[in-house]
Amino acid sequence: MTKYLLLKHYRGAPAPVNDVPMDQWTPEEISAHMRYMRDFAARLQDTGEFVDSQALAPEGTFVRYDGAGCPPVTDGPFAETKDLIAGWMVIDVHSYERAIELAGELSAAPGAGRMPIHEWLEVRPFLAEPPTSTR
């Protein structure tokens, strides 16, 4: 089994087919989208392929090490909203092909008009530990 990150962007990938930003959806369209996401996760829980998922707010803070014990914090400048991460799902599957298959299904979550978004998802395998020497 290999873990993969299915990364959802607000608008950083190529434009989805149903290209209406979520802040322009009706409450019913948002509910339908969230229900699809929950149902998708529940189905993967049943197969043992679901690890975790979270939706992320667009707000955030940058922090970095400064060498003096008091890291600087800034509210920006941030990348444009189109570059922010909307959320993610971690899956644990037997193959890359299965990860791609599931990402394709997740891409069909409904959006405006309750029609599938056909959004692009970034599929990233978790970095595996390097082999350890037995010497």
How is the chain split into domains, by residue range?
A: 2-125
CB 129 within 8 A of CB 40: no
At a CB cut-off of 8 Å and minimum separation 6, what does 5 contact? Answer: 88, 89, 90, 122, 123, 124, 125, 126
What pLDDT was estimated at residue 74? 74
Q: What is the pLDDT along the chain (135 residues), one digit of tens a residue?
A: 899 999 987 655 567 788 888 889 999 999 999 999 999 999 999 999 999 999 887 777 777 777 887 887 777 666 654 456 788 999 999 999 999 999 999 999 999 999 998 888 889 999 876 656 665
CATH superfamily of 2-125: Dimeric alpha+beta barrel (3.30.70.1060)
Is pTM beyond 0.85? Reply is no
At a CB cut-off of 8 Å and minimum separation 6, what does 95 contact? Answer: 2
> Looking at 11-126, which runs of residues are DSSP E strands?
50-55, 62-63, 73-74, 85-93, 121-125
What pLDDT was estimated at residue 10? 65
